[in-house]
Amino acid sequence: MTTFFIIAILALGFLITFQIAKASEYVSVLRGLEKARRQSNRINAFLLLLFLIGGLIGVYFCNESLKGRVLGEAASVQGEEIDLMLKITFYITGIVFFITQIALFWFAYKYQESDKRKPFYYPHNNKLEVIWTVIPALALTVLVGFGLYYWFKITGDAPKEAMQIEITGKQFGWEFRYPGRDKIFGKKYFRNVDPANNNPMGQIWDDAANRDDIWMEQEMHCVVNKPVKLIIGSKDVIHDVGLSHFRLKMDAVPGTPTTMWFTPKYTTKEMKVKENNPDFVYEISCDQMCGKGHTGMRGIIVVETQAEFDRWMAVKKPQYLVAHPDKDPSVKPAATDTTKATAAAVIIEAKGNFAKRKD
């Protein structure tokens, strides 16, 4: 009903506009086309001036009302560099924007048709052409210079002490693998992928490095102020690990692993306070169209202190043991009263190991 109403109103508005337009055409024929043309020339010249003024106010207003909604301070060291580049570019292009737009609309208003003016025959001037070739070229050289400096810094090798995490996209979600205490990812092969048998990553169990690798879904943890290196892959189509608060993103391409590293500056808890939002979480957004569930491909990164991280990691069970319960000391069919004790022992052992890997 409302839809019908809206369509009816649109149609009516349309009809009225058309009738007015037709009438104004008749009137102008009666009054003399030339006179009518000159009048509409004046009106439109004035509107162009108005558009310039209104537009400049609008640009200011838009900036004022939306800048608070753009993400706050970058939450990674790399993100700060990107924000700085953004700022430099913003000022340089901003100056050009105002000069050229003002010139355009001002000229259009100022040089509107008038009997008093003879247009100036001015076909070329090589000096001017050189000026406006060289100045933009210089400005762009500055931008390229800064840009590439940071580009190589950000895309360069991760520091050796970086924590490594493997992240894999699939339709529609994220999976993570930690290398465990040996800090080495075990080999995997896509034909081994078999979630039903607890091998979602296709790990090759014969590889000893796989024995302690830990697998999890949707939520990843890392440590504040400690570089993290993500090894990014995909199982099916191209996805993209988008980390807007860290200002980073990198595609997840099936068959071709990619990497990205960064150093988070604030824990999730600190960000909740900084953003004044108790619901704040670092989100992973899939930034590459990947099918019907693309919009919902949300992952979460928890940034925390080393102690919190260790406590969290301590209770994780390697995927090898999940897939091979017979090898798992904690689920060995033993005397009922000893089960608990063994499990506790394993946890304590694991904790010790994680404490060791901190160094």
Partner 1 sequence: MSNDATYHGPSEVVTTHDVHHDEHHVHHHKETFITKYVFSQDHKMIAKQFIVTGIVWAIIGGLFSVLFRLQLGFPNVDFPILETFFGRWAKGGHIQPEFYYALITMHGTVLVFFVLTAGLSGTFANLLIPLQIGARDMASPFLNMLSYWFFFTASIVMVSSLFVQTGPASGGWTSYAPLSALAEASEGSKVGMDLWLVSMALFVVSSLLGGLNYISTILNMRTKGMSMTRLPLTIWALFFTAILGVLSFPVLLSGFILLLFDRHAGTSFYLSDIVVNGHVLDNEGGSAILYQHLFWFLGHPEVYIIILPSMGIVSEVLSVNSRKPIFGYMAMIGSLFAIAILAFLVWAHHMFVTGLNPFLGSFFVLLTLLIAVPSAIKVFNWLTTIWRGNLRLAPSTLFSIGFVSLFISGGLTGIFLGNSTIDIHLHDTMFIVAHFHIVMGVASFFGMFAGVYHWFPKMFGRDINHTLGYIHFWVTMIGAYLIFWPMHYEGLAGMPRRYLDLTPWVSFNKFQTLNEMITIVSIIVFAVQLMFVFNFFYSMFKGRKVTSTNPWGANTLEWTTPINPGHGNWPGEIPEVHRWAYDYGKDGREFVMQTEPIGTNESKDH
Q: Given the structure tokens 């570019």, which residue do they identify? A: 89
Residue 207 CB, shortest distance to Cu ion, in Å, is 30
Give the Cα separation of 17 and 278 in Å (integer). Answer: 51
Among 152, 160, 333, 356, binds partner 1 (CB under 8 A): 152
Using the rule CB under 8 A, which residue among 8, 12, 16, 47 binds partner 1? 47
> Could you tell me if 283 and 244 are in contact, meaning their C-beta atoms sit under 8 angstroms apart?
yes
Q: Of 219-238, which residues contact partner 1 (CB under 8 A)?
A: 235-238
Write the CA distances from 17 to 9, 106, 136, integer angstroms: 12, 29, 45
Least distance in angstroms from the C-beta of 289 to partner 1: 5
Least distance to Cu ion, CB of residue 290, Å: 3
- Return d(Cα 343, Cα 324) in angstroms, integer: 16
Q: Which helix (H) or strand (E) holds 249?
A: strand 248-252
Dihedral sign for Cα atoms in the order 227, 244, 151, 139: negative
- CA distances to 215, 319, 356 from 180, rounded to whole Å, are 10, 10, 12
32 binds partner 1 (CB under 8 A): no
d(CA 148, CA 15): 56
Spatial distance between the Cα atoms of 225 and 230, rounded to a whole number of angstroms: 15
Q: Which of 169, 170, 221, 303 binds partner 1 (CB under 8 A)?
A: 170
Q: Does 60 bind partner 1 (CB under 8 A)?
A: no
Q: Which does 122 bind (CB under 5 to 8 A by kind): Cu ion, partner 1, none?
A: partner 1
Interface of this chain with partner 1, residues 261 to 280, rule: CB under 8 A: 277, 279-280
Q: Which of 166, 175, 287, 304 forms a contact with partner 1 (CB under 8 A)?
A: 287
Which residues from 208-247 bind Cu ion, rule CB under 5 A? 239
| Window of 123-131, 219-227, 332-340, 341-349 that interacts with partner 1 by CB under 8 A | 123-131
Closest CA to 247 of 330, 181, 150: 150
- Among 182, 184, 258, 314, indicate the residue that binds partner 1 (CB under 8 A): 258
What single string gives the DSSP state of each residue in 200-244?
Answer: TT-B-TTSGGGTT-EEEESEEEEETTS-EEEEEEESSS-EEEEEG
For residue 147, the partner it binds in Cu ion, partner 1, none, with Cβ less than 5 to 8 A by kind, is partner 1
Q: For partner 1, which residue of 162, 181, 269, 285 counts as binding (CB under 8 A)?
A: 285
Residue 236 Cβ vs Cu ion, minimum distance, rounded to whole Å: 11
Residue where the block lists tokens 């290196």: 229
Task: Quote the least distance from Cβ 312 to partner 1, whole Å.
Answer: 21
Choose among Cu ion, partner 1, none what residue 237 binds, the Cβ cut-off being 5 to 8 Å by kind: partner 1
DSSP 316: P
Residue number, 163 or 252, with CB nearest to Cu ion: 252
Residues 87-116 vs partner 1: string with x where CB under 8 A?
A: --x--xx--xx--xx-xxx-xx--xxxx--
Q: Which is nearer to Cu ion, 284 or 290 (CB)?
A: 290
Q: Could you tell me the two tokens for 48? A: 């162009």
Q: In what order do the strands lie in the sheet with 163-170?
A: 214-217, 173-178, 163-170, 228-234, 258-262
Q: Which is nearer to partner 1, 48 or 346 (CB)?
A: 48
Q: Does 177 bind partner 1 (CB under 8 A)?
A: no
Q: According to CB under 5 A, which residues from 274 to 303 bind Cu ion?
A: 286, 290, 294, 297
Give the strands of the sheet with 248-252, arranged side by side.
219-223, 298-304, 282-286, 239-243, 248-252
Binding site for Cu ion (CB under 5 A): 239, 286, 290, 294, 297
